[in-house]
Amino acid sequence: MLKILSSLFTLFKGKASAEPELAPLISKEGVVDSRVCGLIDAVQSGWFNHASGELAAGFKITGEDVVLDVGCGDGAATIFAARCGAEVIFSDSDAAKIARLETQVKNTPARAAQALVCDTDPLPLPDQRATRVIAMEMLEHVDDPAQVLAELVRVGRPGALYLLTVPDPVGEHVQQQLAPAAHFQKPNHIHIFERDAFAAMIANAGLIIESRQSSGFYWSMWMCLYWASVPKQGGATLDQIKAPYPPLLNEWANTWHQLIQTPGGDKVKEKLDGFMPKSQIIVARKPG
């Protein structure tokens, strides 16, 4: 994953300079890995913009920031912040993921790092610790999202910026008809946030919403095809999704990659991202 991110961080320079960087990640037959395609798609949606320092549009990180990434998983957001030279604090309940990420962060220009193996409620951090708080695709997993959000507000400094994302309800409702029941049970998605309800929860926590975005039709469709391609299974879904992927998913990744590299493909992507996005994204600020 770190190798893929390193290559994708060059994409803001433009297609011509990006293709040589991506070459080692594309097979001799021109087959694009699903993760590579997904990250290219994300960059085109404004994610991982190292030129501007924006992890997502409107969420800039500098070397002066203290960035808290809760439920960090494999750590894409943490690595981006670390590459910006920020102090990074990253937490997850999976000790193995935290250990791997801690090793990766050591090879970045992060000015300081703190690794936490814990649940988000409570966080073992003092009040007003962070200037940037990231909670990406984790609130749908917790028992009490409003309480977790209150804890995130507690550890943010006055004026802190928040990047909060959860799965969009359109894709979630489609997957409810396709996925095994276990995908909507612990430890997977136990909440589906309607768009207005998600915004209201953030406002009720005392944050001021600065922007609302959506992206990721590619992944919404990928997951629908995934459920058609694999046996029904239980446990944590993310732990089950591993390469090599079924041929149907490889075909989808290549089709989407061709589309978004085609002149005019960005317009198709924009409309489909609005129709059935993977994620709803809110950037908010703590008053101060």
* Single-letter amino acid code for the residue at 124: P
Does residue 165 carry a pLDDT above 70?
yes
DSSP strand E in 93-207: where? 112-117, 130-136, 156-167
DSSP assignment letter at 197: H
Mean pLDDT score, 206-210: 98
Q: What is the pLDDT of residue 237?
A: 86
Q: How confident is the model at residue 241 (pLDDT cuts 50, 70, 90)?
A: confident
Q: Is the Cβ–Cβ distance between 109 and 136 less than 8 Å? A: no
What b/e sequence results for 127-151 when a residue is b if at least 16 CB atoms lie within 10 Å of its CB, and e otherwise?
eebbbbbbbbbbbbbbeebeebbeb
- Per-residue pLDDT tens digits for 112-148: 999 999 988 899 999 999 999 999 999 999 999 999 9
Mean pLDDT score, 213-218: 96
Q: How confident is the model at residue 16 (pLDDT cuts 50, 70, 90)?
A: very low
Q: How confident is the model at residue 60 (pLDDT cuts 50, 70, 90)?
A: very high
**CA gap 52, 222 in Å, rounded:** 29
Q: How confident is the model at residue 20 (pLDDT cuts 50, 70, 90)?
A: very low
Q: What is the pLDDT of residue 32?
A: 84
Does residue 285 carry a pLDDT above 70?
yes
Q: How open is the CA angle 71-99-12, to the nearest 5 degrees?
A: 65
**3-state DSSP assignment of residue 96:** helix
Higher pLDDT residue, 197 or 239?
Answer: 197
169: region left, alpha or beta (phi > 0 left; psi from -120 to 50 alpha): alpha
Mean pLDDT score, 19-46: 72
Q: What is the pLDDT of residue 57?
A: 96
- Over pLDDT 90: what percentage of the chain? 81
- Per-residue pLDDT tens digits for 64-104: 999 999 999 999 999 999 999 999 999 999 999 999 999 99
- Over pLDDT 70: what percentage of the chain? 88
Does residue 212 carry a pLDDT above 80?
yes
User: In sequence order, what are the beta bridge partners of 131?
Assistant: none
Q: What is the pLDDT of residue 15?
A: 36
Q: Is the Cβ–Cβ distance between 78 and 99 less than 8 Å? A: no
Q: What is the pLDDT of residue 28?
A: 44
**3-state DSSP assignment of residue 135:** strand
- Per-residue pLDDT tens digits for 274-283: 999 999 999 9
Please compute, for residue 72, the number of CA atoms within 13 A of its CA located in the half-sphere on the CB side: 32
Average pLDDT of the residues of the chain: 90
Residue spans per domain, the chain: 59-285
Q: Is the Cβ–Cβ distance between 156 and 130 less than 8 Å? A: yes
Q: Is the Cβ–Cβ distance between 174 and 120 less than 8 Å? A: no
Q: How open is the CA angle 167-170-175, to the nearest 5 degrees?
A: 80
Q: How confident is the model at residue 26 (pLDDT cuts 50, 70, 90)?
A: low
Entry pTM: 0.90
Q: What is the pLDDT of residue 30?
A: 59
Virtual CA dihedral for 223, 225, 226, 232, nearest 10 degrees? Answer: 110
**CA gap 274, 280 in Å, rounded:** 10
Q: How confident is the model at residue 31 (pLDDT cuts 50, 70, 90)?
A: low
Q: What is the pLDDT of residue 242?
A: 85
Class of domain 59-285: alpha beta
Does residue 9 carry a pLDDT above 80?
no
